[in-house]
Structure 1
Amino acid sequence: MVFKSSSKISQTLALGFALTLSQISCSDATEPYTSVKKDAASANSGKKPTKVEEPADDSEASKDAPSKDTKGSVPDKMQTPGEADEVLEPSPAPNPVPAPVPTPDKPAVLPCSGETAECHPHRFIVVDEPKRKMGYVNLDDPSKDWDLNLPNGGRDIQLIGKGKVMVGTLDGNGGYYEVDIVTGKITKSVMNFGGVMSVQRLKNGNTLIMGGGLAGGRGTVVIEVKEDRSIVKKFEFPNASGGRLIRRTKAGTFLIGSSQGGSPDNDIMLEYTAEGKELLRLDAKGVSAHMGLRLPNGDTVVANGHGAAVLIYDKTKKLKVTLGGKDQPGKDPVHFNYGGQFQVLNNGHFVLTNWQGHGTDSGASGRQLVEYDANGVQVWSWKQDAQRFSSIHGVLVLDNLDTNVLYDDTNGALAPAE
């Protein structure tokens, strides 16, 4: 009996000793993981951790915990030995440096009604008569400038939408080009109309082409053509000839300059109905009346060519304001030589071209774009690059215009075509 009791005691002691060893072994194997869990639990106010946190000291846990990946790589997930259902997530990778948010290009000029620098032209296309080319000028970013040769010259220019302008030319026996504003490349050419002086795209997609004796007509002729060159309408004005730019009014009439030397119709601005009836005759007080526009208030604006001015007449034909002039003082000495194409800005100001002559070496002469307010006060001028340009007689100021939209000046200032 004693032997049996001793045997049972020995077995009991052996079993207890084995259990003790097993507990010690398990404790040693899991202590690093247990330490990490404690540290994480402490950092999360007693909540069950889901992520490994870096220990704050050099404890044993820091030796086994995943190191922080400074390059943004994600460490491997850790598992509790023997407990596949309890997974600790990796430490979060450092947040990558956010990419800079693209800043939209600031408009070259914000719409305004004052006379600050932001109100003056910053982006424009000009036509150089003696150098027979057109050029894009960006005063804010000259790297975007371009020039386009027009072998037989150009004159009229219009923003026709879809990022393009149309320029009338005597190239190819007279017609027009469509030109991409960004690249300065010709995207389309329509030629062989004859002595083209002026062009205008209509909202219906047709184009008005104007010049002397077009399509067998007499005097100044305006034809409306489709894209396939077929003529839809034809208007003849036998008593007007030698003019430059022809403009429609909102009422559907035409303002046509005439400069028939020695004739009763010399150096005047005429207004005709589409049927050829004369409605208005204004003395341009110069030579070669270049261009006319009708303002919303009924005033008529006339560029008088060699008279070196732009004149504003009221409804009674009384001269109200003179812009420019060879003797008019201004803040800049512009050497006003010729009243050519002009544009009415949305603040009521006028930007005038100041052509200096037929020579290709006139670039150093005068300031060839000049801005005036509605009272005739000079508020801005542009001194052209004498090497790049010689004598400018066409301009299109692009500031505050949507280049994807067709614009015309039938109501004075450029506005979306109606």
Structure 2
Amino acid sequence: MTISHRLLGIDEGRQQLSLIDTATDTFYWTLDLADFPLARDMQRLDAERVLVGCDRGFFELEIATGRVLASALRWAEVTGAHRRPDGSTLLTGFDLDGGGGVNVLTLGLDNRVTRVARRDGDYIRLMRPTASGTYLLCTNDHILETTPELVELRRFAAPGFEHAWQAERLPDGTTLVAAGYGAFMASFDAQGALVERFGAAADLPHEVNPFFYASFRHAANGNLVVANWQGHGPDNGQRGRQLLEFDAHRRLAGSWSAPGRISSLQGILLV
């Protein structure tokens, strides 16, 4: 079944960002990301704007038009950006301040660094703050939950995690993780125990071809929408279904692809 969402989608394979209506296969606009390489994650700021993290920092985008409104691009190996309620911005990445290891930088309203947190490590993808003030860091084969100073509190792991991409703390204390190359979703209870895996190849039609589960979002109907990245380069659109939707019972409710327009869907934001 085809799914119906209006979303921003990062096509990593072609380095493009588009506003898409999956119900009609409409691409309202497409932004070439040559000036904003390796954009990976997005955060809705308000009704009109979105924050996009990229390798060099971040930029703000007007959702309706794709127009870049502002940017801060003076780093390398940034993997995530997050705007806090007070207007400061958290940048996550590797060796962002020249001291080595994994960093989370805090930028003030003028985008100057006001705080540096560092821990040992050589791999990091997305970071998500939790409601309790901790950080969830995706560090390849496990997820670290840390203090804002990056002191480890606990870790979440499941067999098959490889380049785990995104972790999110839900209101009930559950932690949901996209397993990267493991190509499944994992759910951990409030005590950190693995309680559920879903979306694996054995549970899906062959044409879905789960390859790498990247960003995920919660739809208004309670379903979970997941980007099924298909590989680097511009010609992967025919390899599998690029966007998957799972219902409350963790069953596949539908999927979507646009193989002529998208190679490898990685970052998604429902708008």
Q: Which has the larger radius of gyration?
A: 1
Q: CA deviation at 1:292?
A: 0.6
Q: CA deviation at 1:169?
A: 1.6
Q: Aligned residue for 2:167? A: 292
- 1:305 maps onto 2:180 in alignment: yes
Q: Which amino acid aligns with 1:160?
A: L
Partners of 1:140 and 1:377 lie apart in 2 by 20
SS of alignment partner, residue 327 of structure 1: helix
Q: Which has the higher contact order (CA 8 A, sep 6+)?
A: 2
Partners of 1:142 and 1:257 lie apart in 2 by 32
Match of 1:392 among 262, 265, 270: 265
Q: Aligned residue for 1:317? A: 192
Change (3 A) 1:367 1:208: same
Give the strand-richer structure, 1 or 2: 2
Q: Which amino acid aligns with 2:7?
A: F
SS of alignment partner, residue 177 of structure 1: strand
Range with greater deviation from structure 2 (128-137 or 212-221): 212-221
Q: Aligned residue for 1:165? A: 50
Q: Aligned residue for 2:153? A: 279
Unpaired runs of 5+ residues, structure 1, are 1-115, 260-266, 399-418
Q: Aligned residue for 2:242? A: 368
Q: Aligned residue for 2:203? A: 328
Change (3 A) 1:375 1:322: farther
Q: In angstroms, what is the RMSD of aligned CA positions?
A: 2.0
Off by >3 Å, runs of 4+ in structure 1: 139-144
Q: Which amino acid aligns with 1:379?
A: A
Partners of 1:226 and 1:346 lie apart in 2 by 32
Q: Deviations over 1:316-337 (max 9, x none)?
A: 333222231122235x831100
Change (3 A) 1:192 1:245: same
Partners of 1:175 and 1:224 lie apart in 2 by 12
Partners of 2:196 and 2:68 lie apart in 1 by 39
Q: CA deviation at 1:144?
A: 6.0
Contact 2:4–2:23 under 8 Å retained in 1: no
Partners of 1:309 and 1:225 lie apart in 2 by 34
- 1:190 maps onto 2:72 in alignment: yes
Q: Aligned residue for 1:153? A: 38
Q: Aligned residue for 1:211? A: 93
Unpaired runs of 5+ residues, structure 2, are none
Contact 1:323–1:372 under 8 Å retained in 2: no
Partners of 1:320 and 1:257 lie apart in 2 by 19
Partners of 1:217 and 1:297 lie apart in 2 by 37
Map residues 111-130 of structure 1 onto 2, 5 A cutoff: 121-130=4-13
Q: CA deviation at 1:132?
A: 0.7
Q: CA deviation at 1:298?
A: 1.1
Change (3 A) 1:375 1:320: farther
Give the helix-richer structure, 1 or 2: 1
Partners of 1:328 and 1:140 lie apart in 2 by 24
Q: Deviations over 1:382-405 (max 9, x none)?
A: 12x22211001110011xxxxxxx
- 1:242 maps onto 2:123 in alignment: yes
Contact 1:133–1:153 under 8 Å retained in 2: no
Q: Aligned residue for 1:382? A: 256
Q: Deviations over 1:255-292 (max 9, x none)?
A: 11113xxxxxxx11111111332122121422111111
